[in-house]
Amino acid sequence: MALLPALLPALLSSPPEFDFPTGPGEIEDPGVACDLALARLLAQFSDSTALRQLICSLVSPLDELEAAILDVHYARWLATTTTGVQLDVLGRIVREPRNGLDDATYRRALRTRVLINRSSGRIEELIAIALTFEPDIEPIEFREHAPNSITVHPGGDFDASPRALTERLQSARGGGVNLQLIYPPGAGAPGVFTLSDTTVTVADTKGWGSTTETTGGGLAGVVG
């Protein structure tokens, strides 16, 4: 009981500033609980070896507890370390089924779904959704047309398909807004409508194009 007056200030005083772990791979080294407890110790007791050892023996099990808690916490992050069933659980939370996707592709789909669920339909939000789901389609251009229409013009290659991206953008758009994705035909993207067997170029001033010409119209690559 004689030690209680010494222990109380150590346990109740305001903690000093520390850099706590903020992400996967940043779990503190063993012994941090002891360091934190000793940092709260009043100066007049700081030279007491017996007291310092007692405090460390009492709080050292908290290191293992912290590591276990952080393992559970980080396993629920959409980080590169999150895999398998943990991703499936996150998918149920945000309503994005796996549908046979591998972990890397499914992780990207989950990040996209989180952005969709939080979207208010602003252009910058739609750009973030597009580049999260299809990071290789840059450059990408969003054109607003009065009174309530948006056309999306990606310039890179698709990992999935233009249709999959279109469906996600349409689910994130504002109410009453018409959104179409226009992708140049002949670039090998699955699910794109084209009227020609040959590689074609796009002219925005033309319509559907022709089977007898090598130039397709701007509408030849409309998806959605």
One pLDDT digit (tens) per residue for the chain, 224 residues: 444 444 434 433 444 443 434 454 454 555 688 888 898 888 888 889 999 999 999 988 888 888 888 777 777 777 667 788 889 988 999 999 999 999 989 999 999 999 999 999 999 999 999 999 998 888 888 999 988 999 998 888 888 788 889 999 999 998 899 999 987 654 444 444 545 555 555 555 555 554 554 445 555 555 55
Residue given tokens 């991703």 in the structure block: 87
106 in the same domain as 136: no
pTM over 0.75? The answer is no
217 in the same domain as 146: yes
178 in the same domain as 194: yes
89 in the same domain as 161: no
Position 162 in a domain? yes
Containing structural domain, residue 59 = 20-75
Query: What total number of domains does the chain contain?
Result: 3
What per-residue confidence (pLDDT) applies to 205? 52
Q: Judge if the upstream peptide bond of residue 147 is cis by omega within 30 degrees of 0.
A: yes
148 in the same domain as 66: no
Q: Give the up-direction half-sphere exposure of residue 207: CA atoms within 13 A in the CB hemisphere.
A: 3
Q: Among 75, 91, 110, give the residue marking a domain's end.
A: 75
Position 58 in a domain? yes
For the chain, the distance separating the N- and C-terminal CA atoms, rounded to the nearest angstrom, is 75
Position 198 in a domain? yes
Position 6 in a domain? no
